[in-house]
Amino acid sequence: MLDPFGRSISYLRVSVTDRCDFRCVYCMAEDMTFLPKSEVLSLEEMDRLCGAFIRKGVKKIRLTGGEPLVRGGIMTLINSLGARIGADGLEELTLTTNGSQLEKYAAQLHAAGVRRINVSLDSLEPEKFTSLTRWGKLEKVLAGLRAAKAAGLAIKINTVALRGVNDMEFDRLIAWCGEEGFDLVLIEVMPMGDIGPQRVDQYLPLSLARTAIQRTWTLDDTDYRTGGPARYYTVRETGRRLGFITPMTHNFCESCNRVRLTCTGQLYMCLGQEDSADLRAPIRASESDAQLDAAIIEAIARKPKGHDFVIDRRGPNVSVPRHMSVTGG
């Protein structure tokens, strides 16, 4: 699938639920209203949609959310997608998780064919972790990480950089990832969804963080790319990768290879734009995939050139009204 700018679309991210067992301060408001279950696709419908994308050349699927591992019966979908890994099918099935349920699921994920996961963790201090996630317990996530390691899953830690909150922990996180054998990616906070007035205060440009990190660590350039927005270095002292995702200070759209499906079957062609295509109507309209295939092709033809994120004290604190949990980051 080629979009109007010649980019090949080979990566689908699927938000399997908008619900979550955490309420991270940069992601959700405390009193979120979630979608009624009747609007959410069944796992069978999600599997059918993923199958259509795989037939059209998608090679990588990432499950996300909300928290993907709180969706009831999620292993049915993961097992079914895992069975599609192989020649002419998927090259990779992966997920992004907050780690709270990993202790229970790590071995099952590996058995299903998952080999790498991203785990979000913004602080190694138990109290700060709970205040950032509002409902999370650090010890539970650390236990999940141990289980994931024991199951043989490669782990990348995602850390959202929050000014004055966790920027003083970056050195510790880099050292810890080195000891544990994890890669680390720092992410600039993005203006998605109304979470209250604090957004401008949370934003830390990663150019500043990198300068501070380089006082302690040697960052060697690498040409490692995942087709995604992260720019990677190798930390010479630990040998692990350190990535920076900088949507606010550096536009990464020219190499974008991905589209995003919500749990209600809306396809977003760009994380930072509002345009979406409804794929739920075509799958519910007919058992044949003809209408669905046509809707996918039509949507890819509308993929925009790039996002318009701005965090500015003078402007509104939201660039797109959806919360990150809708399209899953």
Residues that bind ligand SAM (CB under 6 A): 20, 26-27, 64-65, 67, 96-98, 120, 158, 160, 187, 189-190, 192, 324-325, 328-329
- Alpha-carbon dihedral 145, 147, 149, 154, rounded to 10 degrees: -70
23 binds, among ligand SF4, ligand SAM, none (CB under 5 to 8 A by kind): ligand SF4
Residue 191 or 282: which CB sits closer to ligand SAM? 191
120 binds ligand SF4 (CB under 6 A): yes
Q: How many residues bind ligand SF4 (CB under 6 A)?
A: 13
Q: Is 273 in the site for ligand SF4 (CB under 6 A)?
A: no
- Cα Rg for the chain, rounded, in angstroms? 19
d(CA 27, CA 192): 8
**Which of ligand SAM, ligand SF4, none interacts with 245 (beta carbon under 5 to 8 A by kind)?**
none
Least Å from the CB of residue 308 to ligand SF4 = 22
Binding flags for ligand SF4, 30-69, as an x/- string (CB under 6 A) = -----------------------------------xxx--
Distance CA 186, CA 207 (A): 11
Q: Does 118 bind ligand SF4 (CB under 6 A)?
A: no
Among ligand SF4, ligand SAM, none, the one that 123 touches (CB under a kind-dependent 5 to 8 A) is: none
Of ligand SF4, ligand SAM, none, which one does residue 158 interact with (CB within 5 to 8 Å by kind)? ligand SAM
* Minimum CB distance to ligand SF4 smaller for 68 or for 113: 68
> Which CB atom, from 118 or from 238, has the smaller least distance to ligand SF4?
118
22 binds ligand SF4 (CB under 6 A): yes
Nearer to ligand SAM, 67 or 183 (CB): 67
Nearest to 177, CA basis, from 157, 160, 203, 149:
157
CA proximity to 237, closest of 151, 177, 166, 157? 177
**113 lies in the site for ligand SF4, by CB under 6 A:** no
CA distance 171 to 213: 7
Q: Which does 190 bind (CB under 5 to 8 A by kind): ligand SF4, ligand SAM, none?
A: ligand SAM
Site for ligand SF4 in 286-325 (CB under 6 A): 324-325
Nearest 5°: CA angle at 194, between 209 and 135? 75
The smaller minimum CB distance to ligand SF4, of residues 65 and 82, is found at 65
> Which range, of 20-28, 186-194, 227-235, 272-280, touches ligand SF4 by CB under 6 A?
20-28
187-216: which residues touch ligand SF4 (CB under 6 A)? none
Task: Point out which residues bind ligand SF4 (CB under 6 A).
Answer: 20, 22-24, 27-28, 65-67, 98, 120, 324-325
